[in-house]
Protein backbone atom coordinates (compact mmCIF):
# COMPACT_ATOMS: atom_id res chain seq x y z
CA UNK A 1 0.00 0.00 0.00
CA UNK A 2 0.94 3.64 -0.44
CA UNK A 3 0.16 5.06 3.00
CA UNK A 4 -3.64 4.59 3.12
CA UNK A 5 -4.75 6.03 -0.18
CA UNK A 6 -3.20 3.91 -2.97
CA UNK A 7 -1.56 0.69 -4.14
CA UNK A 8 1.49 -0.17 -6.18
CA UNK A 9 3.12 -3.22 -7.76
CA UNK A 10 6.31 -3.69 -9.71
CA UNK A 11 7.84 -6.10 -12.21
CA UNK A 12 11.64 -6.10 -11.93
CA UNK A 13 12.11 -8.17 -15.06
CA UNK A 14 10.05 -5.77 -17.13
CA UNK A 15 11.33 -2.76 -15.23
CA UNK A 16 7.81 -1.50 -14.63
CA UNK A 17 6.02 0.01 -11.60
CA UNK A 18 2.25 0.41 -11.54
CA UNK A 19 0.44 2.89 -9.24
CA UNK A 20 -3.30 2.98 -8.54
CA UNK A 21 -5.36 5.29 -6.30
CA UNK A 22 -8.00 3.83 -3.96
CA UNK A 23 -11.23 5.78 -3.83
CA UNK A 24 -12.16 6.45 -0.22
CA UNK A 25 -8.79 5.32 1.08
CA UNK A 26 -7.74 2.09 2.79
CA UNK A 27 -9.17 1.18 6.17
CA UNK A 28 -7.63 -1.00 8.89
CA UNK A 29 -9.17 -4.16 7.42
CA UNK A 30 -7.73 -3.53 3.95
CA UNK A 31 -4.29 -2.64 5.30
CA UNK A 32 -4.26 -5.78 7.48
CA UNK A 33 -5.12 -7.93 4.48
CA UNK A 34 -2.40 -6.38 2.33
CA UNK A 35 0.16 -6.96 5.06
CA UNK A 36 -0.68 -10.64 5.44
CA UNK A 37 0.83 -13.58 3.51
CA UNK A 38 -0.59 -14.42 0.13
CA UNK A 39 -2.61 -17.34 1.45
CA UNK A 40 -4.60 -17.36 4.69
CA UNK A 41 -6.10 -20.65 5.82
CA UNK A 42 -9.08 -20.37 8.14
CA UNK A 43 -10.28 -23.46 10.07
CA UNK A 44 -13.93 -24.27 9.47
CA UNK A 45 -14.82 -23.56 13.09
CA UNK A 46 -13.41 -20.03 12.80
CA UNK A 47 -15.07 -19.12 9.50
CA UNK A 48 -18.09 -17.31 11.04
CA UNK A 49 -15.84 -15.17 13.23
CA UNK A 50 -13.45 -14.49 10.33
CA UNK A 51 -16.30 -13.42 8.07
CA UNK A 52 -17.75 -11.06 10.69
CA UNK A 53 -14.43 -9.54 11.75
CA UNK A 54 -12.63 -9.28 8.40
CA UNK A 55 -14.51 -10.27 5.27
CA UNK A 56 -17.76 -8.41 5.77
CA UNK A 57 -15.96 -5.14 6.67
CA UNK A 58 -13.90 -5.56 3.48
CA UNK A 59 -17.04 -6.16 1.46
CA UNK A 60 -18.25 -2.67 2.27
CA UNK A 61 -15.45 -1.17 0.16
CA UNK A 62 -14.07 -3.99 -2.00
CA UNK A 63 -15.59 -6.50 -4.39
CA UNK A 64 -14.84 -9.98 -3.05
CA UNK A 65 -14.86 -12.85 -5.57
CA UNK A 66 -13.84 -16.50 -5.73
CA UNK A 67 -11.56 -17.54 -8.62
CA UNK A 68 -12.91 -21.09 -8.73
CA UNK A 69 -16.38 -20.16 -7.44
CA UNK A 70 -15.89 -22.50 -4.49
CA UNK A 71 -16.85 -19.79 -2.01
CA UNK A 72 -19.95 -17.63 -1.91
CA UNK A 73 -19.92 -14.70 0.49
CA UNK A 74 -22.95 -14.89 2.82
CA UNK A 75 -25.14 -11.79 3.05
CA UNK A 76 -23.83 -9.14 5.41
CA UNK A 77 -25.58 -9.52 8.81
CA UNK A 78 -27.87 -6.54 9.39
CA UNK A 79 -26.98 -4.04 12.08
CA UNK A 80 -29.16 -3.73 15.18
CA UNK A 81 -30.91 -0.44 15.90
CA UNK A 82 -30.45 0.37 19.59
CA UNK A 83 -32.35 2.88 21.72
CA UNK A 84 -30.50 3.81 24.90
CA UNK A 85 -33.10 5.11 27.39
CA UNK A 86 -31.72 6.47 30.65
CA UNK A 87 -34.00 7.54 33.50
CA UNK A 88 -32.49 10.14 35.80
CA UNK A 89 -33.72 11.90 38.96
CA UNK A 90 -36.19 14.80 38.79
CA UNK A 91 -38.17 13.24 35.94
CA UNK A 92 -35.42 13.40 33.32
CA UNK A 93 -35.26 10.90 30.46
CA UNK A 94 -32.35 10.82 28.01
CA UNK A 95 -32.73 9.06 24.65
CA UNK A 96 -29.86 8.18 22.32
CA UNK A 97 -29.80 6.06 19.15
CA UNK A 98 -27.08 4.00 17.48
CA UNK A 99 -26.45 1.12 15.11
CA UNK A 100 -24.59 -1.93 16.42
CA UNK A 101 -22.86 -3.89 13.64
CA UNK A 102 -22.04 -7.58 13.55
CA UNK A 103 -18.31 -6.85 13.71
CA UNK A 104 -18.72 -4.95 16.99
CA UNK A 105 -18.67 -1.46 15.50
CA UNK A 106 -21.21 1.18 16.41
CA UNK A 107 -22.34 4.03 14.20
CA UNK A 108 -24.74 6.94 14.40
CA UNK A 109 -28.23 6.82 12.97
CA UNK A 110 -27.86 9.28 10.11
CA UNK A 111 -30.80 9.56 7.68
CA UNK A 112 -28.68 11.68 5.34
CA UNK A 113 -26.09 8.91 4.85
CA UNK A 114 -26.12 6.88 1.66
CA UNK A 115 -27.64 3.39 1.35
CA UNK A 116 -25.95 0.70 3.43
CA UNK A 117 -26.87 -2.99 3.08
CA UNK A 118 -26.33 -3.48 6.81
CA UNK A 119 -28.89 -0.84 7.83
CA UNK A 120 -32.62 -1.52 7.82
CA UNK A 121 -34.03 1.78 6.63
CA UNK A 122 -37.57 0.39 6.71
CA UNK A 123 -37.13 -0.25 10.43
CA UNK A 124 -36.04 3.35 10.96
CA UNK A 125 -39.19 4.49 9.15
CA UNK A 126 -41.39 2.30 11.37
CA UNK A 127 -39.71 3.64 14.50
CA UNK A 128 -40.20 7.19 13.22
CA UNK A 129 -43.91 6.49 12.76
CA UNK A 130 -44.21 5.43 16.40
CA UNK A 131 -42.13 8.35 17.69
CA UNK A 132 -43.43 11.14 15.55
CA UNK A 133 -39.85 12.11 14.67
CA UNK A 134 -36.83 10.51 12.96
CA UNK A 135 -34.68 8.73 15.57
CA UNK A 136 -31.19 10.03 14.99
CA UNK A 137 -30.55 12.87 17.46
CA UNK A 138 -30.12 12.49 21.20
CA UNK A 139 -33.16 13.84 23.06
CA UNK A 140 -33.54 15.13 26.62
CA UNK A 141 -37.08 14.96 28.03
CA UNK A 142 -38.16 16.55 31.30
CA UNK A 143 -41.24 16.43 33.49
CA UNK A 144 -44.49 15.74 31.70
CA UNK A 145 -42.64 15.12 28.40
CA UNK A 146 -40.65 12.30 30.01
CA UNK A 147 -43.79 10.86 31.60
CA UNK A 148 -45.74 10.99 28.34
CA UNK A 149 -42.94 9.22 26.48
CA UNK A 150 -42.75 6.48 29.12
CA UNK A 151 -46.52 5.99 29.17
CA UNK A 152 -47.38 6.32 25.49
CA UNK A 153 -44.32 5.89 23.27
CA UNK A 154 -42.24 3.33 25.13
CA UNK A 155 -44.86 0.52 25.06
CA UNK A 156 -45.29 1.00 21.32
CA UNK A 157 -41.53 0.83 20.78
CA UNK A 158 -41.32 -2.28 22.96
CA UNK A 159 -44.00 -3.90 20.81
CA UNK A 160 -41.92 -3.00 17.76
CA UNK A 161 -38.93 -4.75 19.36
CA UNK A 162 -41.04 -7.90 19.61
CA UNK A 163 -41.93 -7.72 15.93
CA UNK A 164 -38.29 -7.18 14.88
CA UNK A 165 -36.40 -9.76 16.91
CA UNK A 166 -32.68 -9.06 16.66
CA UNK A 167 -33.09 -5.95 14.55
CA UNK A 168 -34.21 -3.53 17.25
CA UNK A 169 -33.30 -3.36 20.93
CA UNK A 170 -34.02 -1.00 23.83
CA UNK A 171 -31.42 -0.66 26.58
CA UNK A 172 -32.99 0.86 29.70
CA UNK A 173 -30.83 2.31 32.44
CA UNK A 174 -31.92 3.85 35.71
CA UNK A 175 -35.18 3.30 37.57
CA UNK A 176 -38.35 4.15 35.69
CA UNK A 177 -40.71 6.20 37.88
CA UNK A 178 -44.19 4.83 38.38
CA UNK A 179 -45.71 6.97 35.67
CA UNK A 180 -49.41 6.33 35.08
CA UNK A 181 -52.44 8.15 33.78
CA UNK A 182 -54.93 9.55 36.29
CA UNK A 183 -58.39 8.30 35.37
CA UNK A 184 -60.45 9.86 38.16
CA UNK A 185 -62.77 12.78 37.40
CA UNK A 186 -61.27 16.14 38.45
CA UNK A 187 -63.31 18.03 41.06
CA UNK A 188 -63.26 21.82 41.27
CA UNK A 189 -63.91 23.95 44.36
CA UNK A 190 -63.83 27.75 44.33
CA UNK A 191 -64.05 30.26 47.15
CA UNK A 192 -63.92 34.01 47.67
CA UNK A 193 -62.14 35.65 50.60
CA UNK A 194 -62.10 39.35 51.41
CA UNK A 195 -58.79 40.86 50.40
CA UNK A 196 -56.73 43.48 52.19
CA UNK A 197 -56.78 45.39 48.93
CA UNK A 198 -59.79 47.66 48.53
CA UNK A 199 -62.38 46.65 45.91
CA UNK A 200 -60.93 43.14 45.42
CA UNK A 201 -61.67 39.59 46.59
CA UNK A 202 -59.12 36.78 46.53
CA UNK A 203 -60.33 33.86 44.43
CA UNK A 204 -59.37 30.42 45.69
CA UNK A 205 -59.39 27.56 43.20
CA UNK A 206 -58.77 23.98 44.34
CA UNK A 207 -58.70 21.02 41.95
CA UNK A 208 -58.58 17.49 43.35
CA UNK A 209 -58.18 14.22 41.47
CA UNK A 210 -59.00 11.08 43.39
CA UNK A 211 -58.54 12.97 46.64
CA UNK A 212 -55.14 14.31 45.56
CA UNK A 213 -54.84 18.09 45.47
CA UNK A 214 -53.41 19.56 42.28
CA UNK A 215 -50.89 22.38 42.95
CA UNK A 216 -52.27 25.82 42.09
CA UNK A 217 -49.44 27.40 40.09
CA UNK A 218 -48.37 24.39 37.96
CA UNK A 219 -51.99 23.81 36.93
CA UNK A 220 -52.65 27.40 35.92
CA UNK A 221 -49.34 27.74 34.11
CA UNK A 222 -50.06 24.52 32.20
CA UNK A 223 -53.48 25.86 31.23
CA UNK A 224 -52.07 29.25 30.23
CA UNK A 225 -49.33 27.73 28.05
CA UNK A 226 -51.69 25.37 26.24
CA UNK A 227 -50.39 22.10 27.69
CA UNK A 228 -52.66 19.09 27.31
CA UNK A 229 -51.27 17.21 30.32
CA UNK A 230 -49.50 17.90 33.58
CA UNK A 231 -47.44 15.71 35.90
CA UNK A 232 -48.65 15.39 39.48
CA UNK A 233 -46.42 14.82 42.50
CA UNK A 234 -47.37 11.13 42.71
CA UNK A 235 -46.10 10.66 39.11
CA UNK A 236 -49.59 10.34 37.64
CA UNK A 237 -50.42 12.44 34.60
CA UNK A 238 -53.56 14.54 34.45
CA UNK A 239 -55.23 15.22 31.12
CA UNK A 240 -56.09 18.89 30.70
CA UNK A 241 -58.04 18.17 27.53
CA UNK A 242 -61.33 18.11 29.45
CA UNK A 243 -64.32 20.50 29.28
CA UNK A 244 -63.87 21.58 32.91
CA UNK A 245 -60.33 22.75 32.18
CA UNK A 246 -61.31 24.46 28.92
CA UNK A 247 -63.86 26.57 30.80
CA UNK A 248 -61.50 27.15 33.72
CA UNK A 249 -58.81 28.36 31.32
CA UNK A 250 -61.23 30.87 29.79
CA UNK A 251 -62.33 32.14 33.21
CA UNK A 252 -58.76 32.48 34.43
CA UNK A 253 -57.84 34.53 31.37
CA UNK A 254 -60.79 36.80 32.07
CA UNK A 255 -60.01 37.09 35.79
CA UNK A 256 -56.41 38.20 35.44
CA UNK A 257 -53.07 37.82 33.74
CA UNK A 258 -50.44 35.22 34.49
CA UNK A 259 -48.23 37.72 36.32
CA UNK A 260 -50.96 38.24 38.91
CA UNK A 261 -51.19 34.53 39.75
CA UNK A 262 -48.05 34.45 41.86
CA UNK A 263 -50.15 35.52 44.83
CA UNK A 264 -53.45 34.17 43.52
CA UNK A 265 -56.32 35.29 41.34
CA UNK A 266 -58.40 38.30 42.30
CA UNK A 267 -61.91 39.32 41.31
CA UNK A 268 -63.06 42.91 41.47
CA UNK A 269 -66.16 43.53 43.53
CA UNK A 270 -67.98 44.72 40.45
CA UNK A 271 -67.45 41.44 38.53
CA UNK A 272 -70.57 39.64 39.75
CA UNK A 273 -71.14 37.80 36.46
CA UNK A 274 -67.61 36.37 36.49
CA UNK A 275 -68.11 34.79 39.91
CA UNK A 276 -71.43 33.37 38.70
CA UNK A 277 -69.53 31.61 35.90
CA UNK A 278 -67.12 30.11 38.43
CA UNK A 279 -70.06 28.94 40.55
CA UNK A 280 -71.63 27.22 37.55
CA UNK A 281 -68.38 25.47 36.73
CA UNK A 282 -67.38 24.33 40.22
CA UNK A 283 -68.55 21.32 42.19
CA UNK A 284 -68.31 23.42 45.38
CA UNK A 285 -68.48 27.24 45.61
CA UNK A 286 -68.12 29.33 48.77
CA UNK A 287 -68.61 33.07 48.27
CA UNK A 288 -67.68 35.56 50.98
CA UNK A 289 -70.54 37.12 52.94
CA UNK A 290 -69.53 40.59 51.79
CA UNK A 291 -69.56 39.37 48.21
CA UNK A 292 -73.13 38.11 48.55
CA UNK A 293 -74.26 41.53 49.70
CA UNK A 294 -72.43 43.20 46.82
CA UNK A 295 -73.86 40.80 44.25
CA UNK A 296 -77.40 41.31 45.51
CA UNK A 297 -77.14 45.02 44.78
CA UNK A 298 -75.20 44.77 41.54
CA UNK A 299 -77.30 42.06 39.93
CA UNK A 300 -80.75 42.97 41.17
CA UNK A 301 -80.46 46.71 41.74
CA UNK A 302 -81.21 46.34 45.44
CA UNK A 303 -79.97 49.76 46.52
CA UNK A 304 -81.37 50.63 49.97
CA UNK A 305 -83.83 53.57 49.93
CA UNK A 306 -82.00 55.60 52.55
CA UNK A 307 -83.35 58.92 53.84
CA UNK A 308 -81.17 61.99 53.38
CA UNK A 309 -78.59 62.45 56.16
CA UNK A 310 -80.12 64.33 59.09
CA UNK A 311 -77.14 66.66 59.30
CA UNK A 312 -77.34 67.75 55.67
CA UNK A 313 -78.43 71.41 55.53
CA UNK A 314 -79.59 71.31 51.91
CA UNK A 315 -82.62 69.43 50.62
CA UNK A 316 -81.97 66.86 47.89
CA UNK A 317 -83.95 66.78 44.70
CA UNK A 318 -85.33 63.32 43.71
CA UNK A 319 -82.57 62.55 41.19
CA UNK A 320 -79.97 63.81 43.70
CA UNK A 321 -81.44 61.50 46.33
CA UNK A 322 -81.10 58.57 43.90
CA UNK A 323 -77.48 59.52 43.26
CA UNK A 324 -76.76 59.77 46.99
CA UNK A 325 -78.31 56.36 47.61
CA UNK A 326 -76.19 54.82 44.83
CA UNK A 327 -73.03 56.38 46.27
CA UNK A 328 -73.98 55.13 49.74
CA UNK A 329 -74.45 51.63 48.33
CA UNK A 330 -71.04 51.71 46.64
CA UNK A 331 -69.45 53.00 49.84
CA UNK A 332 -71.07 50.29 51.95
CA UNK A 333 -69.72 47.64 49.59
CA UNK A 334 -66.27 49.23 49.33
CA UNK A 335 -66.71 49.98 45.64
CA UNK A 336 -65.46 53.03 43.82
CA UNK A 337 -67.80 55.10 41.72
CA UNK A 338 -68.08 58.12 39.43
CA UNK A 339 -70.89 60.66 39.12
CA UNK A 340 -71.16 62.02 35.60
CA UNK A 341 -73.72 64.70 34.81
CA UNK A 342 -74.07 68.19 33.37
CA UNK A 343 -72.74 71.14 35.33
CA UNK A 344 -75.03 72.61 37.95
CA UNK A 345 -77.07 69.45 38.65
CA UNK A 346 -75.72 68.85 42.13
CA UNK A 347 -72.92 66.33 41.89
CA UNK A 348 -71.08 68.10 44.71
CA UNK A 349 -74.04 68.06 47.07
CA UNK A 350 -74.56 64.35 46.41
CA UNK A 351 -70.94 63.69 47.39
CA UNK A 352 -71.28 65.88 50.50
CA UNK A 353 -74.43 63.96 51.39
CA UNK A 354 -72.41 60.74 51.20
CA UNK A 355 -69.72 62.19 53.49
CA UNK A 356 -72.36 63.30 56.02
CA UNK A 357 -74.03 59.88 55.81
CA UNK A 358 -70.71 58.14 56.52
CA UNK A 359 -69.97 60.45 59.46
CA UNK A 360 -73.37 59.86 61.01
CA UNK A 361 -72.89 56.09 60.75
CA UNK A 362 -69.34 56.29 62.08
CA UNK A 363 -68.20 54.73 58.80
CA UNK A 364 -65.45 57.32 58.51
CA UNK A 365 -63.87 59.99 60.67
CA UNK A 366 -62.35 62.12 57.93
CA UNK A 367 -63.03 63.03 54.32
CA UNK A 368 -61.57 65.38 51.75
CA UNK A 369 -63.57 67.12 49.04
CA UNK A 370 -62.33 69.17 46.10
CA UNK A 371 -65.11 71.43 44.85
CA UNK A 372 -65.36 74.33 42.37
CA UNK A 373 -65.82 77.93 43.57
CA UNK A 374 -69.42 77.85 42.44
CA UNK A 375 -70.18 75.10 44.94
CA UNK A 376 -68.44 76.74 47.89
CA UNK A 377 -69.62 80.29 47.27
CA UNK A 378 -66.05 81.56 47.08
Average pLDDT for residues 180-197, to the nearest whole number? 80
Average pLDDT for residues 211-237, to the nearest whole number? 87
pLDDT band at residue 64 using 50, 70 and 90 as cut-offs: confident
Report pLDDT digits (tens) over 91-110: 999 999 999 887 778 888 88
Element (H, E) at 64: none
Residue 75 lies in a domain: no
DSSP β-ladder status, 92-100 and 80-88: antiparallel
In the chain, the percentage of residues whose pLDDT exceeds 90 is 23
Range in 158-162, 216-220, 331-335, 351-355 the model is least confident about: 331-335
- Answer whether residue 155 shows pLDDT above 90: yes
pLDDT band at residue 294 using 50, 70 and 90 as cut-offs: low
Range in 149-153, 258-262, 284-288 the model is least confident about: 258-262
Helical residues (DSSP H) of the chain, grouped into ranges: 28-34, 47-50, 56-59, 121-131, 144-148, 154-163, 216-224, 243-255, 272-281, 289-300, 318-332, 347-360, 373-376
Q: Are residues 28 and 85 in the same domain?
A: no
Q: Are residues 207 and 277 in the same domain?
A: yes
- Answer whether residue 22 shows pLDDT above 60: yes
Q: Are residues 93 and 145 in the same domain?
A: yes
- Answer whether residue 288 shows pLDDT above 70: no
- Answer whether residue 42 shows pLDDT above 70: yes
- Answer whether residue 258 shows pLDDT above 50: no
How confident is the model at residue 85, as a pLDDT? 97
Radius of gyration for the alpha carbons in the chain, expressed in angstroms and rounded: 41
How confident is the model at residue 289, as a pLDDT? 60
Classify residue 62 by its DSSP letter: S
Bridge partner residues of 10 (DSSP): 17
Q: Are residues 169 and 145 in the same domain?
A: yes
Looking at every residue in the chain, the average pLDDT score rounds to 80
Element (H, E) at 81: strand 80-88
| Residue closest to 184 by CA, chosen among 212, 204, 150 | 212
How confident is the model at residue 211, as a pLDDT? 86
- Answer whether residue 147 shows pLDDT above 80: yes
* Residue where a domain terminates, one of 299, 318, 334: 299
Range in 191-195, 269-273, 316-320 the model is least confident about: 269-273
What length is written for the chain? 378
* Residue where a domain terminates, one of 109, 139, 173: 173
Residue 162 lies in a domain: yes
Residue 73 lies in a domain: no
Which one of 110-119, 174-183, 339-348 scores highest in mean pLDDT? 174-183
Domain extent at residue 121: 80-173
In the chain, the N- to C-terminal Cα span, in Å, equals 115
pLDDT band at residue 296 using 50, 70 and 90 as cut-offs: low
Average pLDDT for residues 21-46, to the nearest whole number? 76
Between 281 and 354, residue with greater pLDDT? 354
Average pLDDT for residues 213-217, to the nearest whole number? 83
Residue 65 lies in a domain: no
- Answer whether residue 361 shows pLDDT above 90: no
What span, in angstroms and rounded, lies between the C-alpha atoms of 171 and 95? 10
Residue 181 lies in a domain: no
How confident is the model at residue 19, as a pLDDT? 87
Report pLDDT digits (tens) over 191-213: 766 666 666 667 777 888 988 88
Q: Are residues 207 and 135 in the same domain?
A: no
Q: Are residues 308 and 294 in the same domain?
A: no
Count of the separate structural domains present in the chain: 4
How confident is the model at residue 286, as a pLDDT? 65
pTM for this entry: 0.60
Residue 68 lies in a domain: no
Amino acid sequence: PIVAHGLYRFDLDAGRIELAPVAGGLGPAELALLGAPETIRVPAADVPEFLAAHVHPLARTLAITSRDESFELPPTPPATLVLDARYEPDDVLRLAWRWEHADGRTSEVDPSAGPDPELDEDLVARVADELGWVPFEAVLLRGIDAAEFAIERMPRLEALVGRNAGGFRIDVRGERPDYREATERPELAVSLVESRTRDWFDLGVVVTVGGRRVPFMPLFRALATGRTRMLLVDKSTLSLDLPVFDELRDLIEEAGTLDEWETGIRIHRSRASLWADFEDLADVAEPALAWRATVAGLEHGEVPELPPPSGLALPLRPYQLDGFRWLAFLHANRLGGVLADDMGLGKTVQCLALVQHALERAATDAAAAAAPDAATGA
